[in-house]
Amino acid sequence: MTEQAITNICPHFGICGGCEYQNVDYENQLKKKEENISELLKGFISSPILIQPSPEIWHYRNKIDPVFSPEYFEKPPPKDIKRDTVLGFKRYKRWYDTFPLEDCLIGPSELPNLIYAITQWRKENHYEAYDRRTGNGILHALLLRQGKRTGERMIGILSRDIDLNWNSLIDWLRQYFPYKSLYVGLYTRTAEVSQAEEWHLIDGEPHIHEKIILHSEGNKQEHTFQISPSSFFQANTLSAENMFSQVYNWTKEISPSYVYDLYGGMGTFSILLSRLVQEIHSVDCIPSSLEDGKKNLQLNNIKNVRFELNTVRKFLSEKIKFLDKALTQDTLVIVDPPREGLTENVIKKLIQWGPSHLFYVSCNPNALTKELPFLLEHYNCIRSKAYDFFPHTPHIETLLWLIKK
């Protein structure tokens, strides 16, 4: 890729591992991604795969989760030294070293105000990052979620102790970073992730909301989604709308009676497609996602979506005889698996079931290349599209329409 002069460079570019392409003109970023995905899948899909740009390339993320870490030293410091607490992201290719975050140009706007408020609260109360070396400290991570279309903000503090001076934090945040929801997440493990063992509401409303607008034949449809601290929701709302709209329009072409939304999460696909079909079954293994999904059905006045708490593997294994009987030529299955992709067992069960149409949403093209040889023995890929959910990074979201041979 040819590097071009970019004026809006993050102060952490080159240090942070998040945005490798930020110093490259966006048009060239897209060109490189199209080349990469087309090359990767050329053995399976003959035509070039076109990528749809992100509607916004700055402040497009609706969620970030920087970590609290003890200060890192290149050389071992004296044993009695007190390490300062750093709030930030990991340095590029150095998972053990956290740099202090000033701003994130792809994260929600006004982040410096939040960092300032959290830092003042932390110092005022002498709260420090958890140190795995010593077992001292309590703070693990900061979670920020923000509705791109609603502006509603949710803040979460992951800590080993949930009985902290929350009144002080509320005062700082109200002054510098107003919010709708404030949570503390209990976290007693040692790994640095933002998945709390349990969440407790400290102040405000229990949820924030996001709106998704579908575009179809010149018309717009608006849907509202409730989001909790642990909800999975696509990080780039506006780019996700493009993909959701494509899935909607493809589904409209098929006009299926039944849709099975596997790895359905809070039922985003199910809710968006509900007016097109007779019945939708959404399957996911995370209880909080299903709870959000059921609330989202009420928010959107939808009555033809059924949620099931189960793993996809168990669902297919338990229901395969029933699914065989229910199979019609207009059955559509949507799979949107986690980054590791579909397991061998799930692929076998899908092939055994044999739905007429399969939409595969993949966030990991490398995993996709390992699965397509098996799927394409029984299916043809008739359409493909890529989406740039994460500008300035190498990541690509891929959507395939597979039809049974």
* pLDDT, position 151: 97
* pLDDT, position 48: 85
State the Cα–Cα distance between residues 69 and 91, nearest whole angstrom.
12
pLDDT digits 0-9 by tens, 271-299 = 999 999 999 999 999 888 899 999 999 99
* Low-confidence residues of the chain: pLDDT under 70: 1-8, 192, 322-329
At 92 the three-state DSSP class reads coil
* pLDDT, position 4: 46
- CB of 252 closer than 8 Å to CB of 276: yes
pLDDT digits 0-9 by tens, 181-225 = 999 999 998 776 778 999 999 999 999 999 999 998 888 999 999
CA distances to 38, 82, 97, 260 from 79, in Å? 53, 9, 18, 58
Pairing of strands 181-186, 198-204: antiparallel
* pLDDT, position 76: 80
- 107-135 in b/e burial notation, b at 16+ Cβ within 10 A? bbeebeebbebbebbbeeeebbbbeeeee
- CB of 403 closer than 8 Å to CB of 379: yes
**Domains of the chain and any CATH numbers:** 26-58+210-404 (3.40.50.150), 63-204 (2.40.50.1070)
* pLDDT, position 328: 61
**Beta-bridge partner residues of 198:** 186
* pLDDT, position 78: 80
* pLDDT, position 5: 44
